[in-house]
């Protein structure tokens, strides 16, 4: 099969980790007889430097013309980079918010999986993690607080800031359906997270999730308050299969879930819309502190490429091959610096890409 992949290398370690993911995709193409055509798309700091804005119309059109987009990461050091002297709507992250909106990427899927070989990096006690955990956070991505009206102004001599949190039932329904669909392919359990004891938007969230749940009698579900969920993630992470939640809660909980795996450089993500299209990127940022040194862990980006094959191209066997190759490399003792421990073999970013390629069968 032939596919057109938009590639946003971005800033910091972005170009290094994307290069390794493309290497792995090219190996998959050779082994399984596909053709992947890459279209470079500028976004983030590199786009600001080249075009004056973090995302151009040309870049949006190019992303829309692709079958899927693979991304590295965008942004720089937020205290020293010149990009952060610009107004917020011209900073690198504004490009990311805009592309999510333009492509209607309302569903963010982030697996948090504890690799047997990396158990030592998990900050939770052994007796609590048992055989490990394997969950997915399904986060609403284009509504809620981050997209609501906001303003800062002086009222009666006092500076006052306001952000608004709005959800309509359609926005909740479509993300709930995605959450239950994914649960159906996994261990069939949804934990819907809200703050229904306080927020109207959460009470509507709960009502709509209950309606959707009726269509999935084979999937069990529960409601959990967000503060309790934050505690449960470190107390008993094994209880979760799919966590379904709104934008801001998902932002915070997914970072917490990724940290309890102990290895942010390993975690992939997908942002999906109503079609087969998706934007695939690692869960971590652009790591400006290690950029250009060939030491970054490319595995999160490589696993994001595997998600792209699975979700956008329906190439399950090829996605399995990448995931198995990653597990084998870890089993063989190879580690990038972020997951290195004594007794294992330290590799660079590019060596890790090569080692994974060698194991694609």
Residue 132 Cβ, how far from ligand NAD at the closest point, in Å? 21
Q: Which of 195, 221, 241, 334 is catalytic?
A: 195
Distance between CA 284 and CA 104 in Å, rounded? 22
Q: Which of 307, 306, 317, 308 is nearest to 24 (CA)?
A: 306
Q: Which of 220, 154, 214, 159 is nearest to 186 (CA)?
A: 220
Q: Which of 134, 146, 236, 294 is catalytic?
A: 146
Residue 252 Cβ, how far from ligand NAD at the closest point, in Å? 13
202 vs 286, beta carbon nearer ligand NAD: 286
Q: Which of 255, 327, 340, 354 is catalytic?
A: 255
255 included as an active-site residue: yes
195 included as an active-site residue: yes
DSSP 255-303: HHHHHHTT-GGG-EEEEE-SSS-EEEEESS---GGGTTSS-S--HHHHH
Residue 299 Cβ, how far from ligand NAD at the closest point, in Å? 8
Q: Which residues of 104-142 are buried (b: 16+ CB within 10 A; e: fewer)?
A: bbbbbbbbbbbbebbeebbebeeeebeeebbbbbbbbbb
Q: Under a CB-based contact definition with an 8 Å cutoff, are residues 250 and 108 in contact?
A: yes
30 vs 78, beta carbon nearer ligand NAD: 78
Residue 286 Cβ, how far from ligand NAD at the closest point, in Å? 4
List residues near ligand NAD by CB under 6 A.
Answer: 13, 73-76, 78, 93, 96, 264-265, 281, 284-290, 296-297, 300, 338
334 included as an active-site residue: no
338 included as an active-site residue: no
178 vs 284, beta carbon nearer ligand NAD: 284
129 vs 302, beta carbon nearer ligand NAD: 302
Catalytic residues: 146, 195, 227, 251, 255
């Amino acid at each position: 099969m032939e596919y057109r992949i938009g590639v946003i290398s971005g800033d910091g370690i972005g170009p290094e980790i994307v290069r390794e993911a493309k290497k792995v995709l090219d190996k998959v193409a050779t082994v399984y007889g596909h053709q992947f055509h890459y279209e470079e798309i500028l976004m983030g700091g590199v786009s600001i430097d080249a075009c004056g804005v973090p995302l151009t119309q040309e870049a949006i059109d190019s992303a829309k013309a692709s079958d899927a987009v693979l991304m590295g990461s965008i942004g720089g050091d937020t205290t020293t980079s010149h990009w952060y002297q610009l107004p917020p709507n011209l900073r690198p992250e504004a490009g990311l918010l805009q592309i999510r909106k333009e492509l209607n990427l309302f569903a963010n899927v982030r697996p948090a999986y504890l690799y047997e070989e990396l158990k030592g990096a998990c900050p939770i006690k052994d007796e609590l993690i048992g055989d490990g955990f394997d969950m997915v956070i399904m986060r609403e991505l284009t509504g809620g607080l981050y997209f609501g009206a906001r303003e800062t102004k002086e009222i009666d001599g006092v500076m006052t800031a306001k952000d608004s949190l709005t959800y309509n039932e359609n926005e909740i329904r479509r993300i709930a359906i995605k959450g239950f669909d994914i649960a159906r392919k996994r261990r069939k359990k949804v934990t819907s997270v809200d703050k229904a004891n306080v927020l109207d938007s959460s009470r509507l969230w709960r009502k709509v999730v209950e309606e959707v749940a009726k269509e999935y009698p084979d999937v069990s579900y529960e409601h959990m308050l967000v503060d309790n969920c934050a505690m449960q993630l470190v107390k008993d992470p094994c209880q979760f299969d799919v966590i379904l939640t709104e934008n801001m809660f998902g932002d915070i909980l997914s970072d917490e879930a990724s940290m309890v795996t102990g290895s942010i450089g390993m975690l992939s993500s997908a942002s999906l819309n109503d079609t087969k299209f998706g934007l695939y990127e690692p869960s971590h940022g652009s790591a400006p502190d290690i950029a250009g040194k060939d030491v970054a862990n490319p595995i999160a980006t490589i696993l994001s490429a595997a998600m792209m094959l699975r979700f956008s191209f329906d190439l399950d066997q090829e996605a399995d091959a990448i995931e198995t190759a990653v597990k084998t490399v870890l089993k063989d003792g190879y580690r990038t610096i972020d997951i290195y421990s004594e007794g294992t073999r330290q590799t660079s970013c590019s060596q890790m890409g090569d080692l994974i390629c060698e194991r694609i069968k």
